[in-house]
Structure 1
Amino acid sequence: MNAPAHPSRSAPAPVSSTASPPPPLRSRTVYAAAHVVADPHADTTPDGPAAVDWDTTLAFRHHLWAHGLGVAEAMDTAQRGAGLDWGAAAELIRRSAAEARSVGGLLACGAGTDQLPAHGASLAEVRDAYEEQLGTVEAAGARPVLMASRQLAAAATGPDDYRELYGHLLRQTTRPAILHWLGPMFDPALAGYWGSPDPGAATETLLALVADHPGKVDGVKVSLLDPGREVALRRRLPPDVHCYTGDDFHYPELIAGDTHGFSDALLGVFDPLAPLAAAAVRRLDTGDTAGFRAALDPTVALARHLFAAPTRHYKTGVVLLAWLAGHQPHFTMVGGLQSARSLPHLRRAHQLADALGLFPDPELAAHRMRTLLAVYGGGGA
């Protein structure tokens, strides 16, 4: 019998869980929102509890920390509300926090309300759900990210409901929290967040909330894909409050900043871009803004492809690239969302990532892409 063409191609390269990360990035605070790795052998259904491959999921967090990035855990990129249920998310938070402590890694974790039914929750039930999740994050020792809530968007009658509920949460946090503004392009159920369909009015409510609670807000994570609005918001934030860009289309210019300031980062696209992103920010650490842009600008084409409409399905491309790069042995997602993008979309993601040099083993990536296309009748890579 002939030996297989790629005898060592079924498992990712081992990642040490004890290696110390490099010195932290100095000029910007940078979190990569990390994906989860499904257990491909679990007998699950798309609407059942998530089955997670914990070892491979946590090994990927160590990969991010090893490049000096922080990890934003249990966020949208981890398929919150799209395959990852609260029970699995809570376990993910606890496990990631323990791993972060073992290497001194930077960690922030999402607290939301996704243990509630999609519709019909009262404001009191939304508050209680947030408190449960906030308690889990803080008990793990992580910085909380107060995630945008579908249930709050449905239950709130106006801006005052947001200010009252978030104010209640901020008064009880033990460390400053990150507020999360996720636009409807990422989740249509969040349209009209902060109590108004007008982004200008919503901005005023958010700024008023920050002003109401000095010292309780570490930063605001803005995912609107509108760089002008983000810049206008960050110029009005107090000096001690970060503006974390979540704009996966315009991140180089927003992180580079201008004469009035810059955005830090909390980005899903930095999951696949971790090595390039960390190297680029280290150029900023030396004052080399031009070098930063030269390193990061070429990645935008891939980011725009991954986050093309419907933007909420960007996670499929992120997980594909993790598989092609050797970080996990399969292309299976919780909730079955590996099917959420077309074969032409996935093929183009491979081409763009390969052109950037993202794959440690380009031959492995090409082999895996050919295998995927062959299984689904898509032809050669």
Structure 2
Amino acid sequence: MPDQTLVEPTPLGYGRLFAVHEFRAVFAAHALSLLGLVVSELALSVLVYDLTGSPLLSALTFALGFLPYLAGGTLLAGVADRFPARRVLVVCDLVCAGCVALMVLPGAHIAVLLALRCAVAVVSPVFQGTRMATLTDILGDGDLFVLGRSLLRIVSQSALLAGYGLGGLLLVVVSPRQALLITVGTFCASATLLRFGTRRRPARAGGGSTLMKDSLKGARQVLADRRVRVLLLLFWLPPMFTVVPEALAAPYADDLGAGSTGLGLLMCALPVGTIAGELYAGARLRPAARERITLPLVCCTLLPYAGYALHPGLAVSLLLLLVSGAGSAYTLGLDQWFVRAVPDELRGRAMTLLTAGLMTIQGVGMALAGVVAEFAGVTGTVAGAGILGTVCCVLLAAEARRTEGRDGADRHMTGR
């Protein structure tokens, strides 16, 4: 059970999270493993290009970070509930470290490198889903959990801003294989922090069937609940449209004649807006206020993209992206509703499925953006994503409103 003295309904900002010893360990481990992942993605893509001279294979190393998420999150989700969480987290980190260590071996064939990249991506949703479920054990399932999730997301967004730049500077000093060795170290350090910085807790559920059957059964149970299903869609659908300007940033910067500087600004605007929105909502709004603004924000967050229909210049485009990113603060309220709606014994599988679906659908959104832009152009595609995405969000928000009151009450998933 979480320490009840830590479950405080009045928001005091993110600082109180660091009063919880276990959260400090989880936070530091998250930062280290994220750093390792960013460096490994960049170093591996450079290594693949050096070995093959193929831009396609180099780009494929990035795509393989998305594609296996669905398989891992669906077929291995049962791991998150049927084994003690600390053991799952440590083993996942060590598996990732082992895969990256094998990439360093001289003479490794390109197919082996890509297969190892896939293995890391398969493990990632299990790790992230288990960690998310563990946060409810450490912080409770109230406001502290919401702030903890938000802070980990902010770190992830910050890594998008700084990680690839720092990784690029690192590769000026060391070779790609040496950079991969640094990644091995960060994964091992993360495993150490989680092993000795968090408590051992029992598994959430037993293992009465095979892992794959247990995972698929859990996914069916999660998706069978109307309330949980609409919350999952609210997590998944907006990001599918949100990534469209990011996917098309390079051709749009070229259309504007903005050069590499403009491209960098376009890539940074959305994460900056997201960080600002989450920080404000987490630090300044009460839990009840964050829940009240969830549905209005989710209905409005993609509307700024419609402004691309006017073919704005760089400054206005950046403003539209910043405003849209700030609307992502709706996720704080969704986090609270989701953890309230899912039974404890399904929590690990539900959160693994959430993570896998989120990563997969962003990859799908990027691919579709490229296809549509071939026919509709960049500005037409972004504006269309804003309009269509807003319609989808409004429909989902209406369904979420109809299912209100089922959080914590409707337990037909588990027969209660």
Structure 1-normalised TM-score?
0.30
Point out the structure with the larger helix share.
2
Point out the structure with the larger strand share.
1
- Larger relative CO (CA 8 A, sep 6+): 1 or 2? 2
Structure label with greater radius of gyration: 2
Structure 2-normalised TM-score?
0.28
